[in-house]
């Protein structure tokens, strides 16, 4: 299972990186979202995915899944969402102001 997950994470990272290197601002936003997912899954995998009960003490089980990576991931999801939101709005605003989402045109400033 860990091997499968590692490969999946690798695929997500490949796709995310490829999109981040694209010319269109939109694809870059999508790419960061995918990279975020890759990171979440990586965290979970690295925490160890040995089968056990969900980390709820009421279940009267002997083994539980590690709760710490889950807490970390939960924090990460929320922060990811926050930054993605800002990023999207910046993309939207820059398109509105500058009239393009092509990264090759969004280059340098006159003050340079």
Integer Cα distance of 19 and 24 in angstroms: 9
Integer Cα distance of 85 and 60 in angstroms: 40
Integer Cα distance of 51 and 11 in angstroms: 24
Q: How far is the CB of 100 from another protein (least distance, A)?
A: 8
Integer Cα distance of 79 and 45 in angstroms: 20
Angle between helices 25-46 and 2-20 (to 10 degrees): 160
């Amino acid at each position: 299972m860990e091997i499968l997950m590692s490969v999946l994470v690798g695929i997500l990272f490949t796709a995310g990186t490829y999109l981040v290197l694209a010319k269109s601002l939109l694809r870059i936003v999508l790419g960061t979202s995918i990279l975020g997912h890759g990171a979440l899954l990586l965290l979970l995998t690295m925490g160890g995915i040995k089968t056990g009960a969900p980390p709820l003490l009421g279940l009267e089980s002997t083994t539980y899944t590690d709760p710490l990576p889950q807490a970390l991931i939960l924090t990460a999801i929320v922060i990811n969402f926050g930054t993605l939101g800002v990023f999207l709005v910046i993309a939207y605003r820059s398109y509105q102001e500058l009239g393009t989402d092509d990264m090759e045109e969004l280059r340098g400033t006159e003050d340079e």
